[in-house]
A and B are shown apart, each in its own frame.
Chain A
C-alpha cells in the first residue's frame, strides 16, 4: 500500500498487548519486551527462533495458519483466540516484509492495574452515533471543536484536551480546550508546532491518530537483527521519540492525538494528555478514530457555510461599491468615492487603484515612491500567476522601503488585459501574541508542570499581515469581474446609442425625401392651374390681379426649389462614398461647369495639389462655396482654393469639437473669398438648413447645411473665419 511507511529499527511501536514478527512458518523472528510481562515463564530472548504455537497454543496457531495460507495483503480485523491458560485474546496480523508477518496480540479483559477500559460493548455504537448527532447539531466551527474536545476528554478521562488549528507559518493556535480544573486552557495562544507540547509533530510523516498509553515505559522496539519492515499506517506506530521525551519531561504519561483533515489537508489536531498511564481500549480507539473522521467531515461543511456567510457580509460592500461605480461616469471615481466600501470588499486597511496613468488612494496615505513600489510589486505578482486575475500575499515579497503602517501584505486584482490596470488592497502589519511554552519543572503535580508551571513567553509576530481568507479573495475577484462587466456594458451602451442615432438619421432622411417628393406633385398641379388661369383670363384681369397671379407662380417655383434642395439634403447620407486623391484643379473646373453663366463673375486661384475625398462630394462642396462667394461679392468675386493641415487650419480658425480627435496632419481644404464677410454672430447659423443671410439672394439656404452634413457624415466638419468686410475663409475636412 502506498500509504505504508518503512520502519527502521529506531521506530517504536505502541500496542496494548504484545507485538511479534513471525516468518512464513510461524517461527518467531522477533518479540517485543512486553512479552515478558504477558506470558509467564520464558523471556523474549528464548522465544526467538521458536514456533509461536508454544506460546499461543494449538487453537490460535491453527486459526492463524488458515488465515495466512492465502497470503496477507493488508492488516485485517481482530481475530479472537484462546490461550492455553484460558485467557481470551484478539490477534491482528499485518504484512511487514516479504515472508514476514507482524502480529499484535491484545488481551480481551484487562486488569485494573493497567487502567484499561476494554469493554467492547454495544455502547460503542450508541456513543459514536450520539457523538455524530451532537456534531451534526453544531452550527459553528467553534462549537464543533469545543464538542470534540469535550467528547475526547470525557471518553479518555484525560486531564487535558486541546484543539489546535494549524496556521500557515509553522505555528498552531489553540482554538478550544477542555482541561482539569485550575489549569490554563491556552485558548487563543499561538504555539510553535515544532517546539513543544501540547502541539506535536507527525507520526512518521503521516497525520494518523495515535494513542500512547505510557510514556514512562519504552515503546515496542524491534530486536537488533530485525530487517527493515513495511508497516501499516495503523495506531501501532508511536510518534517521534523526541516529541514523546519532551512530553514525558513535562510529566505527561499518556497522550493521544486525533488529526482533523479538511479538504485532504491537515487542518488541526485534537491533542489529549494525562499525567498517569492510561490505556485506551481498542474499542475506545476505534470510537475516537471515528470521532476524528466525523469532526473532519462536519468541520469541512461548517467552514464552507461560514465562508459563504462571510462572503455575504463582504458582498454588501461589493454591492455598494459597484453601485457607485455604475452611478459614476468615470470608473476610478466610482471605485474610490467611498473608501470604506472599497476596503470592505476584502476587509483591507486601504487600497490603491491604478488605471491608465491615474493612481488613486482609498483609506491610506503614502509617499508616491512607496505607492509606486507597491504597484510595481502587485503588477509583477499578477504577471506571474497562472490565470493572472488575483493574487494575495501576507508579505510584501521582499519589496524594500515600505512603511509597516502602510502595508505588510496585499491582495491584487487585474482590471485590464495586462496587469497595468489594477486594484491593490493593502493590510498593515498584524501583531499577535505567540506563546512559547518553555520546559520548566517547578511543581510536584502534572497541572503545576504542564498547565501552570510553564513559562509563557510572548512575542509580537511581525513582518506579515493577517491572512486573507478564501472568502475575501473570492470577493475581490468578484469585484474584478463585476468591473469588467460594467465596462463591457458601457461599451455596448455606446454601441447601442450609435446604432440608434444611425437609425434615426436614416428615418429622417427617408422622411425628408418622401415628404419633398410627395409635396412636389401637388405643387406642380398648382403651378399648371395658375398658368392655365393666367392664359385664359389674361384679358379680363386687372394689372394688379395679374401681378398677384405671377407672384403665386414665383412662390411656387421657389417652393419647388426648396423641395429639390430638401431631397438633395436627404440624399447625402445615401450617396456612395468613394474617397480617392482628387486633383483640386479638376474639382474646381467641374464645379465651374455646373455654375453655368454666373461663373464668369468669378476668378479662382487654385493650388496645384490633391485632396483625398469623394470626388462627387468635393464637387458639391466647391459648387456651394464658390456659388456663395459669387453671390455675396459685389462685382467680380475672387476665390482662392488650397489644401493645408488641420494643425495649420487651427491657426486660421479654431476647429469645432468634432475635430478634436483628428490627427494634426489631417488635410483641410481652404476656400477663401473677398466678399462681404459674415458677422461672427451668424457663423454658426449659416450652416442651418434653409438659412439665408440675405433673404433677397437667390437660392434656398440649403447649400452650407448640405456641406456640413456631407463632412460630418464622414468624420469631418466645416467651419469658417470671417468678419464683415474681410471676406470669408471656409475650412473643410471631409474625412477620407
Chain B
C-alpha cells in the first residue's frame, strides 16, 4: 500500500530513485558508518534506510542476522524510519512499546526494536530520502553525546549520498 502524504511526494521519490540504491546490494562505505555507530554507541544494530513509496530499503546496515541481510527491505508497517522521512525530524525513542508514534509497529515483536534514534537523510535538494539510525533491543535513554555522534555520522552519510546523487545526475545529463 503506497503511503499518503509526504512519503508519496513525487520529488522525494525521484530523489530516492536518483540514488540508484533501491535494488543495489549493500554499500560497503555506508556500512562502515553503521559499524561505527554500532561501536561508538554500543548498539546491536544500525541501519541506513531509504524510504520508497511503500517499502523501507536497507542501503547499508550493521548487526543484521544473515537472514535479515538476505531480505534487505521491509514493508512500511514495520518501519520506524518512515516517521523520520515523513516529518524530516529526528525520532528519538527510549521505549517503543510506550511511544505513541510507534508502539503498534510490527518491528517491536518481529525485530526486537525497543529503543530507536534516527536522523533524517536530507539531501542537497532538500529532500529527505530516509534515515540513519541506531537500534537497541532494550529500553535506552540516549545521551546527548550519543545523539551528537549519530548526528555526525548522519552528516557524513548525507555528504556521500549527495555526491552519488550528483554523479548520477551528471551521468544522466
Chain A residues with CB under 8 Å of chain B are 1-3, 63, 67, 70, 73-81, 88, 120-122, 124-126, 128-129, 132, 233-234, 261, 282-283, 286-287, 289-290, 293-294, 297
A288–B2 Cα distance when bound, in Å, is 40
**Which residues of chain B from 66 to 99 have any CB-CB distance to chain A below 8 Å in the complex?**
87-90
CB distance from B32 to the nearest CB of A (A): 4
- Contact call A80/B87, Cβ cutoff below 8 A: no
Contacts of B156 on A, CB cut-off 8 Å? 124-125, 128, 283, 286-287, 290
Given A132-B39, A287-B156; A70-B145 close (CB under 8 Å): no
Contacts of A128 on B, CB cut-off 8 Å? 32-33, 36, 156
- Contact call B32/A80, Cβ cutoff below 8 A: no
Question: Which listed residue (B32, B89, B125) contacts A129, Cβ 8 A?
Answer: B32
- Contact call A79/B126, Cβ cutoff below 8 A: yes
- Contact call A289/B158, Cβ cutoff below 8 A: no
Chain A residue at smallest Cβ distance from B127? A80
- Contact call A122/B87, Cβ cutoff below 8 A: no
Q: How large is the interface on B (under 10, 10 to 19, 20 to 34, 35 or more residues)?
A: 35 or more
CB distance from B26 to the nearest CB of A (A): 14
A120–B162 Cα distance when bound, in Å, is 9
- Which of B17-25, B50-58, B101-109, B115-123 interfaces with chain A? B115-123
A679–B58 Cα distance when bound, in Å, is 106
Q: Which 4 A-B pairs give the minimum distances between C-beta atoms? A: A3-B144, A120-B159, A129-B32, A286-B152
- Contact call A77/B154, Cβ cutoff below 8 A: yes
Given A79-B126, A286-B155; A132-B29 close (CB under 8 Å): no
Among B88, B120, B152, B153, max chain A CB count under 10 A is at B152
B14 near A: Cβ within 8 Å?
no
Question: Which listed residue (A74, A80, A121, A297) contacts B125, Cβ 8 A?
Answer: A80
Contacts of A122 on B, CB cut-off 8 Å? 29, 159-160, 163-164
Chain B residues with CB under 8 Å of chain A are 29-30, 32-33, 36, 39-40, 87-90, 119-120, 122-126, 143-145, 147-149, 151-160, 162-164
Contacts of A286 on B, CB cut-off 8 Å? 152, 155-156
- Contact call B159/A1, Cβ cutoff below 8 A: no
- Contact call B39/A80, Cβ cutoff below 8 A: no
Question: Which listed residue (A1, A70, A129, A290) contacts B87, Cβ 8 A?
Answer: A70
Contacts of A78 on B, CB cut-off 8 Å? 122, 155, 158
Contacts of B154 on A, CB cut-off 8 Å? 77
Contacts of B120 on A, CB cut-off 8 Å? 76-77
- Contact call A124/B39, Cβ cutoff below 8 A: no
Chain A residue at smallest Cβ distance from B88? A67
Chain B residue at smallest Cβ distance from A74? B90
Task: Describe B's contact surface by its main secondary structure.
Answer: helix
- Contact call B89/A283, Cβ cutoff below 8 A: no
CB distance from A391 to the nearest CB of B (A): 32
CB distance from B53 to the nearest CB of A (A): 20
Chain B residue at smallest Cβ distance from A232? B144
23 contacts between A and B (CB under 8 A): A1-B144, A2-B144, A70-B87, A77-B122, A77-B158, A78-B122, A80-B122, A80-B124, A80-B126, A81-B126, A88-B124, A124-B159, A125-B160, A128-B33, A128-B36, A129-B36, A261-B145, A287-B156, A293-B40, A293-B149, A294-B39, A297-B39, A297-B40
- Contact call B122/A290, Cβ cutoff below 8 A: no
Given A125-B156, A294-B40; A289-B149 close (CB under 8 Å): yes
- Contact call B29/A125, Cβ cutoff below 8 A: yes
- Contact call A121/B163, Cβ cutoff below 8 A: yes
Chain A residue at smallest Cβ distance from B32? A129
- Contact call B36/A77, Cβ cutoff below 8 A: no
Chain A residue at smallest Cβ distance from B42? A297
- Contact call B155/A126, Cβ cutoff below 8 A: no
A117–B57 Cα distance when bound, in Å, is 33
A1–B148 Cα distance when bound, in Å, is 13
CB distance from B153 to the nearest CB of A (A): 7
Contacts of B153 on A, CB cut-off 8 Å? 290
CB distance from A80 to the nearest CB of B (A): 5
CB distance from A451 to the nearest CB of B (A): 31
Contacts of A67 on B, CB cut-off 8 Å? 88-89
A155–B143 Cα distance when bound, in Å, is 27
Question: Which listed residue (B143, B145, B155) contacts A77, Cβ 8 A?
Answer: B155
Contacts of B164 on A, CB cut-off 8 Å? 122
A73–B89 Cα distance when bound, in Å, is 9
A261–B149 Cα distance when bound, in Å, is 13
A77–B90 Cα distance when bound, in Å, is 9
- Contact call B152/A290, Cβ cutoff below 8 A: yes
CB distance from A176 to the nearest CB of B (A): 21
- Contact call A289/B36, Cβ cutoff below 8 A: no
- Contact call A76/B152, Cβ cutoff below 8 A: no
Contacts of A73 on B, CB cut-off 8 Å? 89
CB distance from A121 to the nearest CB of B (A): 6
Chain B residue at smallest Cβ distance from A108? B124
Contacts of A283 on B, CB cut-off 8 Å? 155-156, 159
Apart from A77-B120, A80-B122, A283-B155, list 4 A-B contacts with CB within 8 A.
Answer: A73-B89, A76-B120, A121-B159, A286-B156
- Contact call A70/B159, Cβ cutoff below 8 A: no
A124–B30 Cα distance when bound, in Å, is 11
Contacts of A297 on B, CB cut-off 8 Å? 39-40
- Contact call A289/B125, Cβ cutoff below 8 A: no
A75–B162 Cα distance when bound, in Å, is 21
Contacts of B119 on A, CB cut-off 8 Å? 76-77
A75–B36 Cα distance when bound, in Å, is 22
CB distance from B126 to the nearest CB of A (A): 6
Contacts of B125 on A, CB cut-off 8 Å? 80
Contacts of A124 on B, CB cut-off 8 Å? 156, 159-160
Contacts of B124 on A, CB cut-off 8 Å? 80, 88
- Contact call A290/B40, Cβ cutoff below 8 A: yes
Chain A residue at smallest Cβ distance from B6? A66
Chain B residue at smallest Cβ distance from A73? B89
A128–B30 Cα distance when bound, in Å, is 12
A719–B91 Cα distance when bound, in Å, is 92
A332–B145 Cα distance when bound, in Å, is 51
A67–B39 Cα distance when bound, in Å, is 32
- Contact call B149/A125, Cβ cutoff below 8 A: no
Contacts of B159 on A, CB cut-off 8 Å? 120-122, 124-125, 283
- Contact call B33/A70, Cβ cutoff below 8 A: no
A132–B153 Cα distance when bound, in Å, is 13
Chain B residue at smallest Cβ distance from A80? B124
Chain B residue at smallest Cβ distance from A72? B89
Contacts of B126 on A, CB cut-off 8 Å? 63, 79-81
CB distance from A61 to the nearest CB of B (A): 13
CB distance from A173 to the nearest CB of B (A): 24
Chain B residue at smallest Cβ distance from A206? B144
Contacts of A234 on B, CB cut-off 8 Å? 148
Contacts of A125 on B, CB cut-off 8 Å? 29-30, 32-33, 156-157, 159-160
- Contact call B152/A126, Cβ cutoff below 8 A: no
CB distance from A232 to the nearest CB of B (A): 9
A78–B128 Cα distance when bound, in Å, is 12
- Contact call B149/A290, Cβ cutoff below 8 A: yes
A103–B147 Cα distance when bound, in Å, is 19
CB distance from A491 to the nearest CB of B (A): 45
A47–B159 Cα distance when bound, in Å, is 32
A290–B39 Cα distance when bound, in Å, is 11
Contacts of A2 on B, CB cut-off 8 Å? 144
Chain A residue at smallest Cβ distance from B123? A80
A121–B161 Cα distance when bound, in Å, is 9
- Contact call B152/A289, Cβ cutoff below 8 A: yes
Contacts of A289 on B, CB cut-off 8 Å? 148-149, 152
CB distance from A77 to the nearest CB of B (A): 6
